[in-house]
Amino acid sequence: MSVVTVQLGQCGNQIGFEVFDALYTDSHCPQGLCSKRENEAYQASCKERFFSEEENGVPIARAILVDMEPKVTSQTLSKAAQSGRWKYGQHSCFCQKQGSGNNWAYGYSVHGPRHEESIMNLIQKEVEKCDSLSGFFIIMSMAGGTGSGLGAFVTQNLQDQYSNSLKMNHIIWPYRTGEVIVQNYNSILTLSHLYRSSDALLVHENDALHKICAKLMNIKQISFSDINQVLAHQLGSVFQPTYSVEGSCHYRRNPLGDLMENLVPHPEFKMLGIRNIPQMSENSLAYSTFTWAGLLKYLRQMLISNSKMEEGIDWHVQPPLSRLPTLGKASLNRELQFNTSIANLVILRGKDVHSADLGGFKDPALYTSWLKPINAFNVWKTQRAFRKYEKSAALVSNSQFLLKPLDTIVGKAWNMFASKAYIHQYTKFGLEEEDFLDSFTLLEQVVASYCNL
Amino acid sequence: MTQSVVVQVGQCGNQIGCCFWDLALREHAAVNQKGIYDEALSSFFRNVDTRVVGDGGSISKGKICTLKARAVLIDMEEGVVNEILQGPLRDVFDSKQLITDISGSGNNWAVGHKVFGNLYQEQILEKLRKSAEHCDCLQCFFIIHSMGGGTGSGLGTFLLKMLKDEFPEVYRFVTSVYPSGEDDVITSPYNSILAMKELNEHADCVLPIDNQSLFDIISKIDLMVNSGKLGTTIKPKSLVTSSAGAVKKRHQKPFDAMNNIVANLLLNLTSSARFEGSLNMDLNEISMNLVPFPQLHYLVSSLTPLYTLADVNIPTRRLDQMFSDAFSKDHQLIRADPKHSLYLACALMVRGNVQVSDLRRNIERLKPSLQFVSWNQEGWKTSLCSVPPVGHSHSLLALANNTCVKPTFMELRERFMRLYKKKAHLHHYLQIEGMEESCFMEALSSLSGLIEEYNQLDATKSMPVEDFPRLSVAM
């Protein structure tokens, strides 16, 4: 089954390019560490999911590019075409002349309705190219105007028009110290709307990716390109094919469906995060060897201490001995050390993958009380190595990991809202104070729900 | 991509405008090696086949034929515009986009606004409409003028209201040169205050500039160049200070060098909209991020670096120095003290080989010494444009919405009151039809209202930052 990707805004398009590039590069990586037949099955599966084919054999990404101003999309299209390896469809791009000005209301209320037909038509064309549709993967940032506002609008439309297909929104959480001054407004408006219309929100935080670049990849002058490449690596390690059943050699057909089934048991809890291990520069990779036991030990601790990378982990954090109900909001003020999970999915790729012991993840103490580990925890495997990493493990988790950042954003947006700063910029384009209040209410609910796990 | 139209009004406006067009051409020439008319060029220039008579000459793609500035030049005296039309830029301007008169406004806002406003209203509207028609997607009007005189101040603000009515969806960015204390025009306080009311009500964004700051910057550069302090790494002729001619002598009033700084400001402001980068910033984002309340739209600008460094591979230390300089008073285009006042919002527009980690590092470093308003403690707007300005490897334009503009406005009000109390020169204004004392009173009250808003924000400066109680949700 295929995934149709919608890349929105500057961020969405810059990331989208890196993701397809990573998927392609990995699927054509010569060091798969598996048999030729296995490798071919992997490639075919990856292709079915993410690429369609042109007559001359050049793979075309199953994606549409949307932006309200032309600079980024034209760059993205030409970058892909120049690579000579894969490209975007000739008519897969929709752009306008004037951007959304970092204004969620402009993206949602002006650009959305104005270009609804054109954008949905483009999506329809891409869907028709698929034999069978797994769902939509929408890449967008929260801080700007197009990704956030138009992204929320498009997702809503997808819910109406393709009610049987799944939608996963890939959201970029902005730097805490700001890229856009009204980013907190744009974020709460985006999150509240997506919570109603999306099936899952896969979140990447710029701050976390930045730290990985600095500490693990040892990059001195970090660019957005570096950050996007780390992100693409993480996404690739999740979305590339894995075996459908323990011990089989057939690859899963429905990546989005399987992800949702394993990770989103309840619609109140939709926020997913990715952790990946090991992650390092290619130079260091040549000199490193790992055991599954070691990797999984670190990964487990990264989960429970809410660490985003394998360096600087707090090993003192341990699961609570008894699962007493927490005290609601009051507990948020306490140092929220232990990260309670709702559901976890571990994806293992590489050598001796069947010998890996995942007992540590099946401990009921890791999970909230209303789900048994047998339902809350899943593992996917493949012997085919990912991008020169002899062994690599990814963890997709639905846990409290975003609770603090979400609470912070809601708090800051609330302070700004109480002062009425910048509100006139939004009401100018049809948003009312009521709409803001609705968003706040919904998100406070989400915060409370995650807090009470 | 979008287009912008520059409307230059009065002597000051046209002289600055002229420098701007010269610099814009040079910048695009440096970037656009193939001579193809691209979208970046189209933001400020039309491509015209001058052999075609009438309006049919516009060419939208392909090789550059003749570039025409998207500009409207207005002056009520002929001297300055004539000089431009005889100078090296004469072919850049469309002769149909000029409006001139002979008599001038006599440094009288009322003459500029009421007399010439009425007289030339139709013509101005026609020229503006024409220039808008030539745009595929017009995003912004840049108005350049001075506050202290008659034409720029009076007629310049008259057309602001026209632009708002006629093109409500197009942004109005105004670059205003404010009179310094030693200004030689006696009535400049009257003209400025009357103009301020219009700016308050009809501008989206105002970039106040004062001549003294520009002069100080030029003096500092001259000092550094002539003292040989920086050795052979400094090129005296940088795009920042020199136009086609040589560097001016210090004892002359170096208006050209000063005007070039303002021209650079406009170029850097629009660079991220014209050229590519990893984090673009369009003009509509400036207003969105830096104007939290409609009236508070006055932005303090500072530019670095101000002289060219010959060494292209700048070590990190130098890069960080650039950020520090942007927050030093020496690099500001208006005399103000943002570090000791309250920031409402701040934007950093970077050009050249600077990456997000450099931005983050410097924001973290500089933040502790700056005071931000309680509801925007971490509010920074940032942009990264890959194309550096000519002659530099990187540059930074910082725009701050800061209460430090308050003293400037208060001083202006002081000078106004000193004149008004004695009714000095008032008859020159009141004898103009449509002018009454109430005009002055309204203008004064508008300014006082603005100052009061800044006062209220300043009052929150020393208060501890408290969070507003959040919504509580029933589970």
Which string of DSSP letters, residue by residue, matches A373-438? HHHHEEEEEESS-BTTBSEEEEEEEEEGGGHHHHHHHHHHHHHHHHTTTTHHHHHTTT--HHHHHH
Q: Which residues of A touch B364 (CB under 8 A)?
A: 177
Residues of A in contact with B170 (CB under 8 A): none
Residues of chain A found within 8 Å of residue B284, distances taken between Cβ atoms: 98-103
Average pLDDT in chain A: 90
Q: Which of B139, B346, B349, B376 to mutate to test the interface with A (most CBs of A within 10 A)?
A: B376
CB contact under 8 A, B278 and A221: no
CB contact (8 A) between residue A441 and residue B471: yes
Report the sign of the C-alpha dihedral through residues B181, B186, B192, B193, in that order: positive
- Given this model, what pLDDT does residue A248 score? 66
* Amino acid letter, residue B273: A
Contacts of B347 in chain A (CB under 8 A): 181
In 3D space, the residue among A131, A142, A151, A114 whose CA is nearest the CA of residue A47 turns out to be A131
Bridge partner list, A61? A51, A88
- What is the mean predicted confidence (pLDDT) over B119-142? 94
Distance CA B155, CA B101 (A): 12
Could you give the CA distance from residue B149 to residue B236 in angstroms, rounded to a whole number? 33
Closest chain B residue by Cα to residue A228: B278
CB contact under 8 A, A71 and B364: no
Report the gap between the CA of A256 and the closest CA in chain B (Å).
30
Measured CA to CA, the distance from residue B281 to residue A180 in angstroms comes to: 10
Residue B427 neighbours by CB under 8 Å, 6+ apart: none
User: β-pairing, A2-8 with A63-67?
Assistant: parallel
Residue of B nearest to A96 (CA): B1
Which segment, A352-356, B13-17, B25-29, B232-236, is predicted with the most confidence on average? B13-17
**pLDDT higher at B237 or A44:** A44
- Mutant choice from A180, A213, A443 vs B, greatest count of B C-beta within 10 A: A180
As a 3-state breakdown, chain A gives helix, strand, coil percent values, each rounded to 5, of 50, 20, 35
Residues of A in contact with B39 (CB under 8 A): 70-71
Continuous H helices in A289-376: 292-304, 329-333, 373-376
> Is A155 within 8 Å of A167 (Cβ atoms)?
yes
Q: Which residue has the tokens 């670096």?
A: B305
Residue B171 has pLDDT above 50, yes or no: yes
Residue A188 distance to chain B (closest CA, Å): 14
Residue B314 pLDDT grade (very low, low, confident, very high; cuts 50, 70, 90): very low
Nearest residue in chain A measured CA to CA from B1: A97
Which residue of A177, A416, A419 is in closest CB contact with B380? A177
Measured distance CA(B406)–CA(B42) in Å, rounded: 38
CB contact under 8 A, B375 and A415: yes
Task: State how far the Cα of A36 lies from the Cα of A30, in Å rounded to an integer.
Answer: 10
DSSP assignment string, B404-421: GGHHHHHHHHHHHHHHHH
Chain B residues closer than 8 Å to A445 by CB: 473
The minimal CB distance from A419 to the residues B139, B375, B384 is found for B375
- Residue with more model confidence, B38 or A337: B38
C-alpha A206/C-alpha A15 separation (Å) is: 12
Do the Cβ atoms of B279 and A419 come within 8 Å?
no
Tokens 């390690």 correspond to: A237
Rounded to the nearest angstrom, the minimum Cα separation between B288 and chain A is 7
- Chain A / chain B CB contacts < 8 angstroms: 146
Q: Give the C-alpha separation, A359 to A375, whole Å.
A: 14
Write out chain B residues lying below 8 Å of A177, CB-based.
Answer: 360, 363-364, 367, 378, 380
Q: DSSP state, B298? A: B
Label residue A113 by pLDDT band (50, 70, 90).
very high
Q: Percent of chain B beyond pLDDT 90?
A: 58
Is the Cβ pair A98, B384 closer than 8 Å? no
In chain B, what residues touch A69 (CB-CB under 8 Å)? Answer: 1-2, 280, 282
- Mean model confidence pLDDT for chain B: 86
| ipTM computed for the complex | 0.88
For helices B255-274 and B283-290, angle between their N-to-C axes, nearest 10 degrees:
100
Predicted local confidence at residue B90, as pLDDT: 87
Structure tokens at B218: 């030029």
Residue B252: pLDDT band by 50, 70, 90 thresholds?
very low
Q: In this predicted model, what pLDDT tens digit does every residue of B200-240 receive, in sequence order?
A: 999 999 999 998 898 888 888 777 666 655 444 444 445 55
CA end-to-end span of chain A: 34
DSSP designation for A364: G
Contact state of A101 with B288 under an 8 Å Cβ cutoff: yes
Strand partners for B219: none
pLDDT level of residue B457 (50, 70, 90 thresholds): very high
Q: Which residue of A has its CA nearest to B474?
A: A445
Do B360 and A411 make contact, defined as CB atoms within 8 angstroms?
A: no
pLDDT tens per residue, range A369-391: 888 888 899 999 988 889 888 89
> From the list B279, B347, B471, which residue is nearest A444 (CB)?
B471
A259 and A274 in contact (C-beta within 8 Å)?
Answer: no
* Residue B104 zone, left/alpha/beta (φ > 0; ψ -120 to 50; rest): left
User: Where do we find the tokens 């994806």?
Assistant: A347
A101 contact residues in B (CB cutoff 8 A) = 282, 284-285, 287-288
Query: The pTM is what?
Result: 0.91
Which residue out of A11, A181, A424 would a mutagenesis test of the B interface target, given it has the greatest number of B Cβ atoms within 10 Å? A181
**Which residue matches tokens 């990378």?**
A309
State the pLDDT at residue A206. Answer: 95
Amino acid at B406: K
Q: How confident is the model at residue B48 (pLDDT cuts 50, 70, 90)?
A: confident
* CB of A397 closer than 8 Å to CB of A266: no
pLDDT in tens, A163-179: 999 999 999 999 988 78
Report CB contact under 8 Å: B356, A210.
Answer: yes
Which residue of B42, B276, B284 is the best one to mutate when testing the A interface, meaning the one whose CB has the most A CBs within 10 A? B284
- Backbone CA torsion sign across A206, A212, A214, A219: negative
Q: What is the pLDDT of residue A297?
A: 92
**Which residue among B276, B356, B468 places its CB closest to the CB of A414?**
B468
Selection from A198, A212, A240, A271 nearest residue A447 by Cα: A271
Residues A11-31 have pLDDT tens digits of 999 999 999 999 999 998 877
Tens digit of each residue's pLDDT (9 = 90 or more) over B356-409: 999 999 999 999 999 999 999 888 999 999 999 887 888 999 999 999 999 999
Residues of chain A with Cβ-Cβ distance to B376 below 8 Å are 181, 416, 421
Q: Do B288 and A416 touch (CB under 8 A)?
A: no
Q: Give the least confident one: A145-159, B33-47, B432-446.
A: B33-47
**What span, in angstroms and rounded, lies between the C-alpha atoms of B379 and B288?**
12
CB-CB under 8 Å, B376 with A416? yes
- The per-residue pLDDT for B1 is 83
Do A414 and B378 lie within an 8 Å CB cutoff? no
User: Quick one: angle between helices A183-197 and A433-451, nearest 10?
Assistant: 70
| Residues B49 and B66: beta-carbon distance below 8 Å | yes
On the 0-12 / 13-18 / 19+ scale of CB atoms within 10 A, B396 is buried
Of B284, B360, B475, nearest to A101 by CB-CB distance is B284
For A42, the enclosing helix (H) or strand (E) is helix A36-50
Does residue A299 sit in helix, strand or coil? helix
Residue numbers in B near A102 (CB within 8 A) = 284-285, 288-289, 381
Report the pLDDT averaged over residues B282-300.
94
Containing H/E element for A74?
A: helix A70-83
Tokens at residue A97, please? 């002349």
* Domains of chain A as residue ranges with CATH: 2-272 (3.40.50.1440), 277-320+337-400 (3.30.1330.20), 404-452 (no CATH)
Cα separation, A68 vs A294, whole angstroms = 47
8 Å CB contact between A98 and B284: yes
Q: Mean of the pLDDT values across residues B287-316?
A: 76
Identify the weakest region by mean pLDDT among A128-132, A308-312, B277-281, B381-385: A308-312
Q: Are B47 and B60 in contact (CB under 8 A)?
A: yes
Q: Which residues of B touch A221 (CB under 8 A)?
A: 355, 357-358
Contacts with B139 from chain A: Cβ below 8 Å: 98
d(CA A319, CA B449): 58
- Which of B287, B378, B381 is closest, CB to CB, to A176? B378
Nearest residue of B to residue A72, measured between CA atoms: B276
Return the half-sphere exposure (C-beta side, CA atoms, 13 A cut-off) of residue B144. 23
Q: Which positions in chain B touch A421 (Cβ < 8 Å)?
A: 292-293, 344, 375-376
B470/A414 CB distance under 8 A: yes
Which residues have a Cβ under 8 Å from the Cβ of B219 and sit 6 or more positions away? B250
Chain B residues in contact with A215 by the CB 8 A cut-off are none
**Is residue A78 over pLDDT 50?**
yes
d(CA B45, CA B21): 10
pLDDT of amino acid A330: 44
Residue A323 class from Cβ within 10 Å (0-12 exposed, 13-18 middle, 19+ buried)?
A: middle
Q: Residue B447 in contact with residue B193, Cβ under 8 Å?
A: yes
Going by the DSSP 8-state scheme, the letter that residue A272 receives in this structure is E
Please give the C-alpha separations between residue B363 and each of A178, A182, A187, A212, B280, in angstroms, as whole numbers.
9, 17, 21, 19, 18
Q: Please tell me which residue of chain A has the smallest CA distance to B277.
A: A72
Nearest neighbour of B381 by CB, restricted to A181, A415, A419: A181
* A10, A175, A222: residue with CB nearest B280: A10
Residue B313 pLDDT > 90: no
Q: What is the pLDDT of residue A329?
A: 45
